[in-house]
C-alpha cells in the first residue's frame, strides 16, 4: 500500500487547472473578471498566436507587490474573509484558484501599480516559480499569458482551430461587456479590433456594440421589480418577428454575472410559446438583480450555473416581466400616435393665430371661412385623440391589474384581454371605411354561402345590456391614418399608413384574432356551453391507430375546448364541436387536430389544440371578403395586443417605411 503524500503546490495547481482552465476562453474569463472586480473603467483584451497568447490590460486599482505575489498562491483572494461572505458576494471571482491554475499551464507575467504608487511591480510565474522586480508601468494591471498549455501536451492537442477558440473567447467577452455597460471594453484579435464598447452605461447600446443583436431587431424594454423579494428585472427582448434556432441570442445576467439560468430560459419559452415557431428561440437580454443571500453561485467550477433559494417566486416574476413587456409594446405605439396628434394640434393652434391676425386685418369673409375650417379640423382631432387615449388607458388598466396579481402565475388568458374598436354611429354618417373613418354595418350587401360572414367576421354586433337585443347598426373604424389601398387575389390587404405601407395576409390575421378570442373565452373550469355546438347527427371519425390513441389520451383537454366524443373499442364518434368550427368538415378537423397533438411532444397540449382550432376556423386565403368584412377584420386584429405574428409564429404583416421604399427604388 503506497504511503499518503501531500502533493506539491504546482502539481495541485495543475490538477485544479483541469477544471478551471478548459481552453483559452477560460483564461480570458478569469482574468477579465479580475479586471472588472478591480473597478476598471477601460479594459483591452489582445489575442494572438492561435489564441495561446493573451494580454489583458486595465486601469483598475492595481496591487501592491506583496498582494501581487500572494495572488499567485492557491486560495489567496481579497474578496472573502469569512464563511458568511460566501452568501453576500458582490464580486465575480472569490475562490483564489484562477491565477495559480493559469500559471501552472502557461508562462504568466503581471505588471501592476496602484494609483498612489510611484513605480510598479513585475511578477513572473512559470513552472511553479514566482519572481518579482520593480518596473515602471501605468496605473492598473496588465496580465500577459504566453505559450498556454506548453507543458500539458494532451490538453494542447485537444484545442480546436484558432477560429473556433476565438469564437468562444468572443462569446465570453461579449457577455461580460453587456453585463458591465459602464466599462469600455476592446477585444483585439491578431491586431484588429473585433468589437469595442464605449462604456456609456446604456444597456441597449452595449448590446448593439457587442454584436449580440444585429441592430435591426425591434426591441421591447423589460422593466419590473418586486420589493418583497428584493428582486429587480430589466433588459430587452426582441419582438416575435426576430428569432433563431438556438439560444445563442439569449443572455441571462444575474447580479452582473452572465450565467446559464434555466428559469430565464423557461420563462422565455412560456412567453413566446404562441408567438414564434416551435423549436425557435427569441433574442433577449434579461438582467436580474437579487439579494445575494438568496443566491448560490458556488455550485460549478467555472461559476456558470446558479441556484435560487426561492426559485419559483423568481420564475414567476421573470415570466410576468417578459409578458408585460411584450404586451406594453402595443400601448407604447398608441402613445406615439398620440404624440403625432399633439403635433397636429400645435399646427392647428398656429392656424388659429393666423386666423386672428386675418380678422384684425378687416377681411371678415376670409376670417369666417378659416374659422369654419379650423373648427372642423379641431373636432376631428379631438375625436381621434379621445379614441386613442381611451385605448391607451384600457391597455394600461389591463397591465396594471395583471401586475397587481403578484402571488399567481400568469396564464395565457391574462395577457390576451382586448377590446374591439366598436363605436356607436352618428345618425346620417356615411363616410367610407377605407380612409380610416367610420363604417356602418351590418350592411345590405348580399353575402354568398362562401363569404367571410361564415367565419365570424360579420357577427361583431353585441347584445344590448338594457334590451338584450342586437343593435340595428354598428360602426368599425380603422386606426387613424390607415387606408385600404388594395385587396390582391382575395388574400393580401395593402394598407397605406402614416409611416408608409403594410401588407396583411387575411388568413393569418384572422387566425391571430380567433386565437385571442378563444383564449379569452377559456376559464379555469373549461369553456362554457354557449361556445360549443352539439351535433344533430354524430360524425364517425376515420383515425389511424396513433391518432386514435392521442385523442383518447387527451379527451378531457378536448372537452374543455368544446369537443365531445363517444368512444368504443374500435370507433370514435364526434358529437360536439367548438362553435368556431360549426361550418367545417368535422371529421377532417378532428383528424388534423389529433395529428398535430401527436407530434406536439412536450408542448402544452391545450394550447396546441387552441392553435389548431383557430387555424382551421380562420378564413382561408383566396376566399373573397366584402369591404365591410375587411374593415372589421383589420379593426379586430389591430385591437389584439400581440398582433405581429400568428400563434404558430408566422408574420401577419410586412412593413415598408417610406425610407425603405425609397431605398428599394433608389439603391445606393
Fold equal for 9-194 and 203-323? no
For residue 411, the model assigns a pLDDT of 42
**Cα–Cα dist 422/225, whole Å:** 35
First-residue to last-residue Cα distance in the chain:
80
Q: Give me the DSSP letters along 212-267.
A: SS-S-S-EEEEEEEETTTTEEEEEEEE-TT-EESSSTTEEEEETTEEEB-HHHHHH
Q: Would you state the torsion angle of the CA atoms of residues 172, 173, 175, 178, taken in this order, to the nearest 10 degrees?
A: 170
For residue 370, the model assigns a pLDDT of 58
203-323: what CATH class?
A: alpha beta
For residue 548, the model assigns a pLDDT of 85
Q: What CATH number matches the domain at 416-668, 3.40.50.1860, 3.40.50.300, 3.30.1540.20, 3.20.20.80?
A: 3.30.1540.20
For residue 207, the model assigns a pLDDT of 93
Q: Give me the DSSP letters along 255-304.
A: TTEEEB-HHHHHHHHHHTTTTS-TT-EE-EEEEEEE-GGGEE-TTSTTS-
pTM as predicted: 0.68
For residue 468, the model assigns a pLDDT of 39
For residue 444, the model assigns a pLDDT of 38
Fold of the domain built from segment(s) 9-194 = Heat Shock Protein 90 (3.30.565)
| Model pLDDT for residues 413-433, shown as the tens digit of each residue | 343 333 444 444 444 444 444
CB atoms near residue 234 (< 10 Å): 18
For residue 474, the model assigns a pLDDT of 52
CB atoms near residue 429 (< 10 Å): 12
For residue 558, the model assigns a pLDDT of 85
For residue 146, the model assigns a pLDDT of 95
Residue 455 near residue 633 (C-beta atoms within 8 A)? no
Residue 603 near residue 278 (C-beta atoms within 8 A)? yes
For residue 508, the model assigns a pLDDT of 93
Strand order in the sheet with 492-496: 483-488, 492-496, 500-505, 653-657
Cα Rg, the chain, nearest whole Å? 32
Using 50 as the pLDDT threshold, list the residues of the chain that sit under it. 360, 362, 391-392, 395-434, 436-451, 453-454, 458-473, 524-529
For residue 429, the model assigns a pLDDT of 40
For residue 369, the model assigns a pLDDT of 60
Q: Give me the DSSP letters along 585-598.
A: -HHHHHHHHHHHHH
Distance of CA 380 to the CA centre of its chain: 37
For residue 445, the model assigns a pLDDT of 43
Q: Is residue 305 classed as helix, strand or coil in its secondary structure?
A: strand
| Domain ranges across the chain | 9-194, 203-323, 331-405, 416-668
**Pairing mode, if any, of strands 284-290 and 295-296?**
unpaired
**Cα–Cα dist 163/166, whole Å:** 5
Amino acid at each position: 500500500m503506497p504511503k499518503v503524500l501531500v502533493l506539491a503546490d504546482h502539481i495541485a495547481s495543475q490538477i485544479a487547472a483541469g477544471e478551471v482552465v478548459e481552453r483559452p476562453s477560460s483564461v480570458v474569463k478569469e482574468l477579465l473578471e479580475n479586471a472588472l472586480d478591480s473597478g476598471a473603467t477601460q479594459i483591452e483584451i489582445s489575442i494572438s498566436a492561435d489564441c495561446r497568447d493573451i494580454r489583458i490590460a486595465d486601469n483598475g486599482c492595481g496591487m501592491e507587490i506583496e498582494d501581487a505575489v500572494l495572488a499567485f498562491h492557491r486560495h489567496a483572494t481579497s474578496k472573502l474573509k469569512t464563511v458568511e461572505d460566501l452568501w453576500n458576494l458582490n464580486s465575480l471571482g472569490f475562490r483564489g484558484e484562477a491565477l495559480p491554475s493559469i500559471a501552472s499551464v502557461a508562462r504568466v507575467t503581471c505588471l501592476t501599480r496602484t494609483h498612489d504608487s510611484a513605480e510598479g511591480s513585475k511578477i513572473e510565474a512559470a513552472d511553479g516559480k514566482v519572481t518579482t522586480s520593480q518596473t515602471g508601468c501605468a496605473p492598473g494591471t496588465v496580465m500577459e499569458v504566453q505559450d498556454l498549455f506548453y507543458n500539458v501536451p494532451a490538453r494542447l492537442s485537444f484545442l480546436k482551430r484558432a477560429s473556433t477558440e476565438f469564437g468562444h473567447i468572443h462569446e465570453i467577452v461579449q457577455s461580460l461587456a453587456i453585463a458591465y455597460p459602464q466599462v469600455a471594453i476592446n477585444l483585439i484579435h491578431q491586431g484588429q479590433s473585433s468589437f469595442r464598447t464605449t462604456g456609456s452605461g446604456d444597456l441597449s447600446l452595449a448590446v448593439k456594440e457587442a454584436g449580440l443583436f444585429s441592430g435591426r431587431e425591434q426591441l421591447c424594454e423589460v422593466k419590473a421589480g418586486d420589493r418583497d423579494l428584493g428582486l429587480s428585472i430589466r433588459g430587452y427582448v426582441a419582438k416575435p418577428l426576430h428569432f433563431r434556432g438556438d439560444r445563442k441570442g439569449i443572455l441571462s445576467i444575474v447580479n452582473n454575472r452572465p450565467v446559464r439560468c434555466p428559469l430565464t430560459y423557461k420563462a422565455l419559452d412560456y412567453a413566446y410559446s404562441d408567438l414564434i415557431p416551435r423549436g425557435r428561440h427569441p433574442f433577449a437580454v434579461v438582467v436580474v438583480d437579487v439579494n445575494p443571500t438568496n443566491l448560490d453561485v458556488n455550485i460549478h467550477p467555472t461559476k456558470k450555473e446558479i441556484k435560487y433559494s426561492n426559485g419559483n417566486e423568481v420564475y414567476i416574476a421573470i415570466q410576468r416581466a417578459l409578458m408585460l413587456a411584450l404586451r406594453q409594446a402595443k400601448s407604447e405605439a398608441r402613445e406615439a400616435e398620440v404624440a403625432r396628434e399633439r403635433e397636429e394640434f400645435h399646427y392647428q393652434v398656429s392656424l388659429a393665430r393666423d386666423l386672428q391676425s386675418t380678422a384684425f386685418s378687416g377681411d371678415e369673409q376670409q376670417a369666417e371661412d378659416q374659422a369654419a375650417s379650423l373648427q372642423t379640423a379641431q373636432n376631428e382631432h379631438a375625436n381621434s385623440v379621445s379614441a386613442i387615449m381611451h385605448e391607451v388607458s384600457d391597455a394600461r388598466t389591463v397591465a396594471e391589474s395583471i401586475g397587481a396579481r403578484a402571488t399567481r402565475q400568469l396564464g395565457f388568458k391574462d395577457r390576451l384581454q382586448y377590446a374591439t374598436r366598436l363605436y356607436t354611429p352618428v345618425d346620417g354618417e356615411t363616410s367610407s371605411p377605407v380612409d380610416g373613418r367610420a363604417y356602418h354595418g351590418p350592411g345590405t350587401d348580399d353575402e354568398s354561402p362562401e363569404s367571410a360572414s361564415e367565419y365570424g367576421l360579420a357577427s361583431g354586433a353585441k347584445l344590448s345590456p338594457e334590451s338584450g337585443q342586437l343593435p340595428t347598426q354598428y360602426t368599425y373604424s380603422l386606426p387613424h391614418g390607415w387606408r385600404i389601398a388594395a385587396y390582391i387575389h382575395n388574400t393580401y390587404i395593402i394598407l397605406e399608413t402614416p409611416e408608409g405601407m403594410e401588407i396583411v395576409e387575411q388568413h393569418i390575421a384572422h387566425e391571430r384574432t380567433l386565437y385571442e378570442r378563444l383564449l379569452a373565452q377559456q376559464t379555469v373550469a373549461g369553456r362554457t356551453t354557449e361556445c360549443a355546438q352539439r351535433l344533430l347527427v354524430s360524425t364517425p371519425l376515420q383515425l389511424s391507430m396513433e391518432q386514435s390513441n392521442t385523442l383518447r389520451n387527451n379527451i378531457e383537454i378536448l372537452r374543455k375546448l368544446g369537443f365531445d366524443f363517444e368512444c368504443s373499442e374500435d370507433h370514435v364518434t364526434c358529437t360536439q364541436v367548438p362553435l368556431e368550427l360549426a361550418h367545417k368538415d368535422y371529421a377532417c378537423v378532428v383528424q388534423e387536430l389529433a395529428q398535430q397533438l401527436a407530434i406536439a411532444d412536450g408542448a402544452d397540449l391545450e394550447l396546441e389544440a387552441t392553435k389548431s382550432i383557430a387555424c382551421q376556423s380562420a378564413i382561408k386565403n383566396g376566399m373573397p371578403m366584402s369591404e365591410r368584412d375587411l374593415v372589421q377584420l383589420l379593426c379586430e386584429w389591430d385591437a389584439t395586443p400581440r398582433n405581429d405574428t400568428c400563434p404558430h409564429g408566422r408574420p401577419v404583416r410586412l412593413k415598408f417605411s417610406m425610407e425603405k421604399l425609397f431605398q428599394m427604388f433608389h439603391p445606393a
